[in-house]
Chain A
C-alpha cells in the first residue's frame, strides 16, 4: 500500500485557506469595546455594575452567582473591582 501512497498526490492547502484560518483567530481575539463611564454615572449605577460583574464571573468560572462576591470602588479616576470566588 505504501507504494500507492508514493504516487498519491499530496493534498496541499491553498494559501488563502490558511490565511482565512489565521485571520479568524486574529479577529476572534479582538477586545470588546470598553466605554468610559463618568464618575457620577458609575456611583449611581454601582449596584447594577456589581450585579453584571457577578454574572460575568459566574459564567466564566462556572460557579453559582451566590459564591461570587464583588466590590467596585472608584479610585483616582479608575474603577477597582475586588472579586472573591468560593470554588468549594
Chain B
C-alpha cells in the first residue's frame, strides 16, 4: 500500500510543482518506488520540471476515459528507474475529472508503489477537490508572505473539513530568505509555523539554482548533493519520522562567503 500525499497551496507560484518533482526524486533516490501525478489538468508542468515533456504519450485524461490503464500511462524517469510520472493533459479541463476518477486511478497504482505524490493545482475549486480525494496526507506549501500564508490557512481549514487528521497535514516553507529574516524584514519559519499551527517539515531557501535546474529539466536533487538538495533529503527523513532540526535546513544554504563573514562579525 502506497502512502499518498497531495502537495497543495491556496496561492499559485509558491513552488508546488518544483517541490513535488524534487520530493519525488529525493524519495526515489532513497530507494522507494515513487509515482508523481500531475493533477493540474489544463496546464501541466510537472513533466517539464522533470524533463520528461517529450516522453508523454498518454495522460491522466486517457486513463480516466478508459483509453489506457493507469500502468500504461506511467512514464519512467530517464535517470531514476524507480520514479514514474502520470502527466496531466493540456487540452482537457478540470471539470472533466471527478474526485472519484482520482480515487480509482490511485487505487490502480496503490499496490505497485511506496509513495504516490499528487501535485495539486492552486486554489480551492474542482482541481483541488480532485487532488485531495485519494490522499491521506497533505503537504501545504507557502512562502513567508501574507497573501500566501492567508491562503494556506484557508486550505488547511478545507483539508480539515474534508476529513484530514491534523497530524497528517504538514507544511513546507519555500522561498525563505535568511538574510531578510535576520534583518527583521521577513517573517521567520517559527512565525509562520505558529500562525498556521501545523507541523513544519521543511524550509527551502530562495535559490537561483532551482531556477537553473528547472530550465535544464533536471530537478536539483539529481544535480547536487549539497545545499537545497540536503533540505529535500531532510524532508524525506522527517516524513519517515526522524527528528531533524529545521535550523539545519537554513544552515545548509548559507554559502561559504556568508559563513566566512559571519565568523568575523561574531568576533
Partners in one complex: yes
- B-side interface residues, number (CB < 8 Å): 17
- A60 near B: Cβ within 8 Å? no
- B241 near A: Cβ within 8 Å? no
In the complex, what's the smallest C-beta–C-beta distance from B156 to chain A, in angstroms? 9
Answer whether A14 and B146 are a contact pair too, CB < 8 Å, given A23-B195, A30-B153, A33-B161. no
CA distance A17 to B185 in the complex (A): 8
CA distance A24 to B161 in the complex (A): 22
Is the Cβ of A20 less than 8 Å from the Cβ of B191?
yes
Answer whether A33 and B191 are a contact pair too, CB < 8 Å, given A15-B186, A16-B181, A26-B153. no
Taking CB atoms and an 8 Å cut-off, the chain A residues in 29-48 that contact chain B are 30-31, 33-34
- Residue on B with the closest CB to A27? B195
In the complex, what's the smallest C-beta–C-beta distance from A22 to chain B, in angstroms? 6
- A19 near B: Cβ within 8 Å? yes
Is the Cβ of A16 less than 8 Å from the Cβ of B188?
yes
Residue-wise, chain B 190-229 has the 8 Å CB interface mask toward A (1 for contact) of: 0100011000000000000000000000000000000000
Partner of B161, one of A16, A26, A34: A34
Q: Which of A24, A26, A34 has the most CB of B within 10 A?
A: A26
- B66 near A: Cβ within 8 Å? no
Is the Cβ of A19 less than 8 Å from the Cβ of B187?
yes
The B contact surface, by secondary structure, is helix
Is the Cβ of A16 less than 8 Å from the Cβ of B185?
yes
Q: Which of B181, B183, B195 has the most CB of A within 10 A?
A: B195
CA distance A14 to B182 in the complex (A): 11
- B90 near A: Cβ within 8 Å? no
Is the Cβ of B184 less than 8 Å from the Cβ of A15?
yes
- Residue on A with the closest CB to B192? A23
In the complex, what's the smallest C-beta–C-beta distance from A15 to chain B, in angstroms? 5
B residues less than 8 Å from A17 (CB atoms): 184
- Residue on B with the closest CB to A17? B184
A residues less than 8 Å from B149 (CB atoms): 23, 26
In the complex, what's the smallest C-beta–C-beta distance from B132 to chain A, in angstroms? 16
- B157 near A: Cβ within 8 Å? yes
Instruction: List 9 additional A-B contacts (Cβ < 8 Å) besides A15-B184, A26-B146, A34-B161.
Output: A14-B183, A15-B185, A16-B184, A16-B187, A20-B191, A23-B191, A26-B150, A27-B153, A30-B153
Q: Which 4 A-B pairs have the closest CB atoms?
A: A14-B184, A16-B184, A15-B185, A26-B150
A contacts, CB < 8 Å to B:
14-17, 19-20, 22-24, 26-27, 30-31, 33-34
Can you list 18 pairs linking A and B with CB atoms under 8 Å apart?
A14-B184, A14-B185, A15-B184, A15-B185, A16-B188, A16-B191, A17-B184, A20-B187, A20-B191, A22-B146, A23-B149, A23-B191, A24-B195, A26-B153, A26-B195, A27-B153, A31-B157, A33-B161
